[in-house]
Amino acid sequence: MKPLQIPVEHKTLGNGLHVVVAPDSTAPVVTVGVYYKIGFRLEPQGRSGFAHLFEHMMFQGSENAAKMQHIKLINSSGGVLNGSTMYDVTNYYEAVPSNALERVLWLEADRMRALKVDDENLRNQRDVVKEEVRVNVMNQPYGGFPWLDMPPVAFRNWANAHNFYGDFADLDAASLADVQAFFRTYYVPNNAVLLILGDVSPADAFALGEKHFANIPAGPAPKFADSAEPKQSEERRGHVVEKFGTLPAMAIGYVMPQRRTPDWCAMALLDQALHGGRAGRIYRDLVLEKQLAVEADGGIDDIFGYNGPTQMTTRILHKPEIASDETLAAFNAVIHDVQEKGITDTELEQLKVKWRSDYFATLEGGRGGYMPRYGLMHLLACFTLFDGEPQLVNAILDGFLAVTKDQVQGVARRYLQPENRAIVFRKPNAVSQEAA
């Protein structure tokens, strides 16, 4: 097994913008990302959903590229683009043939420098976002389950507990002044990282980065609200009505250890032991052996990509004739078993092999589907913004591969406790059961 040696170079421009370059000439394609260190967790109170609405506004026009130009210029260069809003970061990214690199950097620099949007753009994207929420949440069976259902049950700090997609009243209340204020506060070069990956030399990449971004003025360092949670001392439960689906569901979330600690590494392997597909203990026990559940999955979502309170979450859809209590008891028994007996040597070995393999897969593709190196970009961005160390992408695997059986059992005992968890029950309502 060779150690990982992805070439990574990192510089910081005078205005505080981090530039990270990872060259690879396998294909004549470059992936470019700009990450801002602000996500939906710390959006303004009274403006739920604003960070995501704002992300849409970043495609609506900047100083020298009018509405539709961003999309048109990338597509017509042979590339694809998108953006996404996460807990603690928002990203904008493109994959293009490498001859379009400078054009992409120009576009990203233009919208980092100045947004040029109007009320009409805001109205338009507010409508688009509402349809996004309807198609993904309100008009789908189990829409938003559990990622939108869990936070208000599990957390007490508004930052962690509010509706991240946004209440429609809050979306309606958002104004153009809010858009510009958010932009001025968080979208400054000293709160961002530019990533250039793929078919380019580091020298060229840094020169182009300097050329287009260096004269964007820095802003005051953003002040971030405290997202710490008050200490939890009891199990928390909540209930949500399922409007369309036919099966009762539940989600169980345990608050995670601090990131980049030995406990965090051990939890990642415990997660693999519990949620690793059909070999995972939860699926094996609840679906394959006891046959109470129809679906049982989950885990730590985007383990490298958060910078505040988060959970490892199990999502279960169970058979209608099985009571929720019985399903939960079976889940508890799986947890109890790993707390009492730990895991075997063979199991640990398998978990590590699978973890390593999954890590490579993340680097190459990851969440972006047809977006080469999305995962590598995402990890480099998070390691830069949260840790100041993009090189962690090569080193971080070691911590996970060093985890012992005792550590896995230890975190199971300490973290998988009722006073560290929250449960959301999502049950079909009687009307929809009759109609079905």
Partner 1 sequence: MATQVSRAASAVPELAPEREVRWPQRTKHKLANGLEVILVESHTIPKFHGELFFRSGNAAASARAASLAEMTATMVRTGTTKSTSREIEERLRGLGADLSVSAGQDTSAISFAGLSDYAEQLLQLVSELAREASFPAAEFERERRQKLEEVKLERTQPGFLAGERLRKVLFDRHPYALVSPTEDQVAAYSLDQLQSVYRDFYTPENAILLLVGDFDPVKMQAAVEQVFDSWSGKKPASPDSPTPPKPTGRKVYLVHVPGAVQAQILCGCHAITRKHPDWIKVGLTNSIYGGAFNSRLVMNIREDKGYTYSPRSAVNPLRQYGFFSVSAAVRNEVVAASLTEIFYEIDKLRSLSVPESELTDAQNYLTGVFSMGLATQSGLLSQVSTLALNELPGDYLETYRQKVRALTPGDVLAASRTYLESANMQIVVVGDREQIEPQAALFGELKVFDAQGAQLS
- Report if residue 401 touches partner 1, rule: CB under 8 A: no
Closest CA to 126 of 166, 159, 77: 166
- Per CB under 8 A, the segment of 251-259, 273-281, 296-304, 389-397 that binds partner 1 is 273-281
Residues 6+ apart with CB under 8 A from 271: 299, 300, 303, 312
Q: Which listed range, 43-51, 68-76, 147-155, 161-169, lies at the site for partner 1 (CB under 8 A)? A: 68-76
Q: Give me the least distance between CB of 38 and partner 1, in Å please.
A: 19
Give dist(CA 408, CA 263) in Å, integer. Answer: 8
Cα separation, 346 vs 350, in Å, equals: 6
Cβ distance to partner 1 smaller for residue 87 or 355: 355
Residue 367 within binding range of partner 1, rule CB under 8 A: no
- Shortest distance, position 53 Cβ to partner 1, whole Å: 12
Distance (Å, rounded) from C-alpha 109 to C-alpha 200? 18
Q: For residues 199 and 302, which CB has a smaller minimum distance to partner 1 in the complex?
A: 199
| Binding flag, residue 357, partner 1 (CB under 8 A) | yes
- Burial class, 301, CB count within 10 angstroms (exposed 0-12 / middle 13-18 / buried 19+): middle
34, containing H or E segment: strand 29-36
116 is a site residue for partner 1 (CB under 8 A): no
The residues, any chain, with a CB within 8 Å of residue 262's CB and separated by 6 or more, are 399, 403, 407
> Nearest CA to 309 among 203, 409, 167, 415?
415
Residues 121-140 that bind partner 1 (CB under 8 A): 123-132, 134-135, 138-140
> Could you say which residues in the range 322-351 bind partner 1, by CB under 8 A?
346, 349-351
Distance between CA atoms of residues 90 and 99, nearest Å: 26
Contact with partner 1 (CB under 8 A) among 81, 192, 252, 268 = 81
Residue from the set 159, 363, 381, 382 that interacts with partner 1 by CB under 8 A? 363
Query: How far apart are CB 141 and partner 1 at their closest, in Å?
Result: 4
Distance in angstroms (rounded) separating the CA atoms of residues 270 and 281: 10
Exactly one of 83, 365, 399, 410 binds partner 1 (CB under 8 A); which one?
365
Of 306, 425, 403, residue with least CA distance to 348: 403
| From candidates 46, 141, 238, 399, binder to partner 1 by CB under 8 A | 141
Of 98, 163, 391, 417, which lies in the binding site for partner 1, with binding defined by CB under 8 A?
98
What is the smallest separation between the CB atom of 119 and partner 1, expressed in angstroms?
13
